[in-house]
Amino acid sequence: IFEQAIHKGPQVKDSAAPGSSSRLAGTSAAMPLGSAVGLAGLRKAYDGGATKKTGESGGVARPPEEPPEEQEEDADQPEDGHRRPAQAAGSAAAGEAAAGPQDYTALTDEWDDIEARTDEIRAKEEKDRGKIRTQDDILQKPISWHEVHQWLLQEVTIDPAVLEQFKKEEVFETSCISCMGRRRCLSDVPGLDRKLWKDKDLVLFLKATDFDFNQPIHFRMLRTAYMKLTRNKVCPSIGVHWEVMGFQHTDPRTDLNRSGGILNVLHLFFMFAHHFDILKSAYLLAQDSEQNFPLGCVSINITRMVVEYLLEGRLSSLCNSGENGVLDTTCRVYAGGFYHFYSRWRSLKRTIRDTEVTFNEVRRLMEKSPKKLLDGLAKGIEEMKAKKDPGKFEFTDLDFTSRAPQAGAPKAAARPGTATAVPRRLRNYQDAE
C-alpha cells in the first residue's frame, strides 16, 4: 500500500537512486515542503490504519479493494487534460492544507495584522461619522472678497518668466501730435505711473495664469458665484451645469484659459461680491427665452477689452488717480462695462443677433471715455437701491372691519362741501333706492 501511494503521489525523479528504497529516500529529500508533509501524514495514516486492521482481524491488513479517491478524481477529468474549476480550487485548497508549519505561522500573522488594521480603520470611521473632512470643508465653503484679496497680497508671487511674453512682444504706436511713430514693449503701458508698474505686472501675471480646478481659491471663486446665482448646492468640476452660466462647454477651462485665465474669474467674482443685484438680474435675463445670451462668454469678452485698453494706455489716467492701484481699476472698469452691456440689452430688448452691436458700444466707451462707464454703473446702483427703498412704497388704507349699516339705522351725514363720487356701474342701484 505504501509503495502504491508513493507511485500515485507527486514524484520527483532522482537519478542517484534507481531502486525503490533509494527512490523513496530521494523523493523525501527532494520533494518540496508541502509534499514532504503530505508523505509524513500518509505514513501516519497508514500506520494507524494498519494497527487498527491488525487489532480487529488478528492478521496483516490487506489493501483496500476500493480505489483511492485520487483515482476517482483522475477518472472524472476531461479528455483534454484540463481540470474543472471546482477541481482546480479543490487542488489549490489541498495544496494550502499541505503547507508547512512555518507557512501557516506566517500566513496567520499576516491575517492577524490585516484584521487589526481593519478594526482600526473601522473604529476611526465610526468616530468620525457625520464629520466633514478638512479638505472637503475648504472646497465646499463659500469664499469672500476679503479672502480673495488676502490671497492676492500674500500668496500670489509674480513669476518674471511668465511676464517675458509681454516684454518680448513689441507694438508700434503713433502719436496724434507728431507723425513719428515708435516701438515699445507690450508691457510698457503709456502714461502709467512708475510706482504702479508692480500692480500692472500682477494683472498681466493673472491674465497669463491658467484657471485650475486643483487650486482651491480658483475653484471656490467660480463655485461660489455659480451656487449663489443658480441656488444649487452641488457644483462638480465638469458637467453641463456650466452651460447654464453661459460657458460653451461642460469644462469652463476651455473658455477661461483661451484668453484671460484666472483674471476672468477674478473680474466675475468682483462683480458678484460688490454688485450682486446687477449680476443676478443679468443672469436671469440671460435665461430668458427671447433675450438670452451667454453670460460667461460675455464676461470673458469684457475682460479682454479691459486688458487691451490697459496696455494701450487708455486707462492710465484712471489708474493714476485711483487709490487702490491698477487691479482695482480694471475690476471697476470691467463692472462698468458689464453693466452697460446688461443695461443696453435689457432696455432695447436685444437678442443674440445684437451681440456684436452691444460689444461695440461698450468698446467705444471704454476706449474714448472709460469714466462714463463708472458713472453709468454708479447711476445703475442708485436705481437698484431706489427700487428696494421701503420709504418709497405706497400703501392703500383699506378698512376690512367696517360693516354695512343695518336697516332703519340713520345714515351718516356727509361733510359739508364734499361730493360723494358714485361709480357709473352703481348709479342705477342708487336711483332705485
DSSP label at residue 254 = H
pLDDT for 227 equals 92
CA angle 393-395-398, nearest 5°? 170
pTM here?
0.61
Kindly give the residue spans of alpha helices, DSSP state H, lying in 241-294. 241-244, 253-256, 262-274, 276-286
User: For strand 181-185 and strand 170-174, is the pairing parallel, antiparallel, or unpaired?
Assistant: antiparallel
What confidence tier does 100 reach under pLDDT thresholds 50, 70, 90?
low
How many CB atoms are located within 10 Å of the residue 396 CB?
Answer: 4
Q: Is 271 helix (H, G, I), strand (E, B) or coil?
A: helix
Over residues 151-178, the mean pLDDT reads 82
Greatest extent of the chain over all pairs of C-alpha atoms, in Å: 147
Q: Is it the case that residue 346 has pLDDT exceeding 80?
A: yes
Over residues 222-238, the mean pLDDT reads 91
Q: What is the dihedral of CA 14, 15, 17, 23, to 10 degrees?
A: 30
Q: Is it the case that residue 176 has pLDDT exceeding 50?
A: yes
pLDDT in tens, 267-285: 999 999 999 999 999 999 9
pLDDT in tens, 14-38: 444 444 444 444 444 444 444 444 4
Kindly give the residue spans of alpha helices, DSSP state H, lying in 64-100. 69-75, 85-97
- Check: CB of residue 186 under 8 Å from CB of residue 178: no
Computed on alpha carbons and rounded to an integer, the radius of gyration of the chain in Å comes to: 45
pLDDT in tens, 36-89: 444 455 455 555 554 444 444 444 444 444 444 444 444 445 444 444 544 544
Over residues 390-418, the mean pLDDT reads 58
Q: What whole-number distance in Å separates Cα of residue 150 and Cα of residue 199? A: 15
Over residues 158-164, the mean pLDDT reads 91
Q: Among the listed ranges 121-135, 319-333, 398-412, which one has the minimum average pLDDT value?
A: 398-412
Cell of 371: 469714466
- Check: CB of residue 194 under 8 Å from CB of residue 200: no
